[in-house]
Structure 1
């Protein structure tokens, strides 16, 4: 586990955004990504009858739809033990295999940082 105070301030910001989105929307996951220009995009789990997306894939889609061409980092707040391969693939598609994905619990404590690749 990583002490939140030890995180880079920009990484702390995306974890905080992901946590707030999860809590505000009452969804299983919240996620946030930071693009190459420092802009952030936060999203929650999408669970419609016709569309199901994880919070992380939704945040990546929001970044792409807003014109982002690269990612610096991603964060997901979840009770799940791991980030699914398809979520990491979405981050990797935009940010590359070394893009860090911070995985935090609902309390905001980062449990691990995994590369997208």
Structure 2
């Protein structure tokens, strides 16, 4: 776990984008990822009858589909108390095990930063 008081402005921006997506779409989770060029991708939970994806998995998929080669950081805004292993694995697949994953509550307050690994 990383010290959350040391978050840089770009990481806080990811939380802001994830929170806004969650609120705008009225979904349980919002997520944002930043690729190696600084581009960001945001997504909410996908809950269709035939397709269910977490917000973080969707954001990673959007980055991959847009040609991202790596990730610098990821954030998820949720009521959950931890980032699921499957979500961390998706971030790890594109960004590597050291990629930070920020977890924040619905109000946008970060609660922890874990590595994807």
Superposition TM-score, scaled by structure 1 size: 0.95
Where does 1:74-93 land on structure 2 (aligned, <5 Å)? 74-93=74-93
1:66 alignment counterpart: 66
| Map of 1:94 onto structure 2 | 94
2-structure distance, mates of 1:16, 1:53: 21
For 2:7 and 2:93, the matched residues in 1 are separated by 25
1:26 match: 26
**Number of aligned residues:** 115
- Aligned-partner Cα distance in 2 for 1:101–1:93: 13
> Structure 1 CA distance, aligned partners of 2:15 and 2:81?
16
Question: Structure 2: which 5+ residue stretches go unaligned?
Answer: none
* Contact 1:2–1:109 (8 Å) recurs in 2: no
What's the offset of the Cα at 1:2?
3.5
Q: 4+ residue stretches of structure 1 with deviation over 3 A?
A: none
Query: Any conservation in 2 of the 1:31–1:42 contact (CA below 8 Å)?
Result: yes
Q: TM-score, normalised by structure 2?
A: 0.95
